[in-house]
Amino acid sequence: MVQKTHSTAPATQPPVETGSCEAPRSALSMFGTETHMGATIFYDQNSEIYGENEPADYVYKVLSGTVRTYKVLNDGRRQVGAFYLPGDVFGLEIGDEHTFSAEAITDSSILVVKRSTIIAQASRDNSVARELWAATARELRRTQDHLLLLIKNAQERVAAFLLEMADRSHSAGAIELPMSRQDIADYLGLTIETVSRTLTHFETAAAIELPRSRRIVLRNRSALHKLNA
Amino acid sequence: MVQKTHSTAPATQPPVETGSCEAPRSALSMFGTETHMGATIFYDQNSEIYGENEPADYVYKVLSGTVRTYKVLNDGRRQVGAFYLPGDVFGLEIGDEHTFSAEAITDSSILVVKRSTIIAQASRDNSVARELWAATARELRRTQDHLLLLIKNAQERVAAFLLEMADRSHSAGAIELPMSRQDIADYLGLTIETVSRTLTHFETAAAIELPRSRRIVLRNRSALHKLNA
DNA sequence: CGACCATTTGATATGGATCAAGCGATGTGG
DNA sequence: CCACATCGCTTGATCCATATCAAATGGTCG
């Protein structure tokens, strides 16, 4: 089992690897489930994992919790780039700096691996190189889908978001949203008022139930799906 | 020199390699300037290079002309994913199918290389593998920038588009736009009326000159830049 | 209990879409 | 060579979805 550091990592500060970092068997394992390299770090809710333009020396994998990446535009608006759930890899760059900032949305445990280690492995092991490429390609695909969302209307965006979260959290009954309405709004390019109104509209239309503001039950998936491309 | 097939490739049909396909020295050269592998194919204006969901057996590089990639949503709207100018690589996928369609905007000559060839080389040559990764990472970066555009207002989008095209076409004086207003609108997530109005507004504000509808002179770059993030 | 923060709900404003018409360049046939 | 159709673009008038501004509600934690 992965050893657990219980030092809430200070924001921005590069993670300190803890003792139990075993001999790296394969950097590929970074992306697998039975990994044995890197360090596990705990981040408190809303703490920064890294900032935009900081050196991209590490690659991250969510073990538990949820992470958002985002950019703040010069006029103060924030655009959320993605939400990362357990199992998701984030922060992998080919350049030397992170292009987005990353924060823990909830208390999170994150597996942190040195990028240089992975890249060194990739130069020896084809399958690792391929995995690096694949990770970036997945990110590209996700970004393309996100881009297509932003040209749709509010109902379509919110519906797509709910279906995406339902898929990814693969929990049978209700979706438990870790993020705030503001996070959702900034992801969808809407205001929090519009997100809220759209959700109540879906509830009125019996497409969803909202037992609590962060718990959503999809009642009529196909109705939500019909709103999409 | 690369040999030139003068068969306007029939839309959708996979390109037929022509005789002069030399022994592939390095797939990396695909991305370099002094390439010696693959075939050059001419595409007439508005002809399809490949369609969404078609097998992604080839990778493409613009030698001359301009290419657009796009997706048509179920409601008929079209989203242009990117414009590719001479030197740009497009159509590289990690999966087996193209995620967007591609068309020549003007008559274009395109270098076409078998993806399997490049991937085979990548498994032998680290630098090729790295180049594949880098190409996908560039595409990711471009898509992230594009996504950030779509949350801005019309003036900011059009200004960003003009500055981007000015940068990329690195021609001193005027930008010669190969694409129609509709292409621009579908790239920016606006209507052609809004694009047109915004351009005339910039002209009135003396930020640009519009000698002909597809020729634009940037008069006040910093004014355009100020509109951006 | 009371303060605080997230969320919802309400009223109004507005940027860009839509609908519609005009204009200029290019090409075609008589 | 000119009348006329066509196409891409511009301009005008109106409408509507979402933003904005503002207030009420509800849940959480000290």
| Contact predicate B157/B228, CB 8 Å | no
Tell which wins on pLDDT, B139 or B20. B139
**B180 in contact with nucleic chain C (CB within 7 A):** no
Taking the CA of residue B45 and the C1' sugar atom of nucleotide D4, their distance in angstroms comes to 27
Q: Do A150 and B150 touch (CB under 8 A)?
A: yes
A9 or B211: which leads in pLDDT: B211
> pTM of the predicted model, to two decimals?
0.89
Across all residues in chain B, what is the average pLDDT?
Answer: 88
Q: Which of A211-220, B8-17, B77-86, B179-188 has the lowest mean pLDDT?
A: B8-17
A193 CA to C8 C1' distance (Å): 8
| Region of poorest pLDDT, from A157-166, B166-175, B207-216 | B166-175
Q: How confident is the model at residue A11 (pLDDT cuts 50, 70, 90)?
A: very low
Contacts of A139 in chain B (CB under 8 A): 140
Which of B95, B144, B228 comes nearest A99 by C-beta? Answer: B144
Which chain A residues have a beta carbon less than 8 Å from that of B122?
126, 129
pLDDT digits (tens, 9 = 90+) for A93-136: 999 999 999 999 999 999 999 999 999 999 999 999 999 999 99
Residue B4 binned pLDDT confidence (cut-offs 50, 70, 90): very low
> How much is the average pLDDT of B136-163?
98
Amino acid identity, position A181: R
Residues B200-220, mean pLDDT to the nearest whole number: 96
Reported confidence tier of residue A229, pLDDT bands at 50, 70, 90: low
Give the pLDDT score at A22: 36
pLDDT tens string A179-191: 999 999 999 999 9
Percent of chain A predicted with pLDDT > 90: 80
Q: Which amino acid is at A221?
A: R
- Nearest CA among A67, A77, A65 for reference residue A186: A77
d(CA A107, CA A10): 13
Residue A9 has pLDDT above 80, yes or no: no
Quote the tokens at residue B204.
Answer: 């009135």
Chain segment B23-45, per-residue pLDDT in tens = 334 444 555 544 458 999 999 99
| DSSP string across B145-202 | HHHHHTTS-HHHHHHHHHHHHHHHT--SSEEE--S-HHHHHHHHTS-HHHHHHHHHHH
A76–B contact, CB cutoff 8 A = no
Instruction: Say if CB B110 and CB B84 are below 8 A apart.
Output: no
pLDDT of res. B37: 80
Average pLDDT over residues A203-207: 97
Q: What is the pLDDT of residues B173-195, one digit of tens each?
A: 899 999 999 999 999 999 999 99
So what's the pLDDT on residue A227? Answer: 79
pLDDT at B30: 57
Which nucleotide in the DNA or RNA is closest to residue A156, CA to C1'?
D17
* Set of chain A residues whose Cβ sits within 8 Å of the Cβ of B229: 73-75
Q: What value does the mean pLDDT of chain A take?
A: 88
The percent of residues above 70 in pLDDT, for chain A, comes to 84
Chain B residues 84-103 with CB within 8 Å of chain A: 93-95, 99-100
Give the per-residue pLDDT at A19. Answer: 35
> Do the chains contact at A73 and B229, CB–CB below 8 Å?
yes
Going by pLDDT thresholds of 50, 70 and 90, the confidence category of residue B18 is: very low
Task: Say which of B94, B122, B146 has its CB closest to residue A134.
Answer: B94
In which residue are the tokens 């005789």 written?
B19
- Over 50: is that where the pLDDT of B3 sits? no
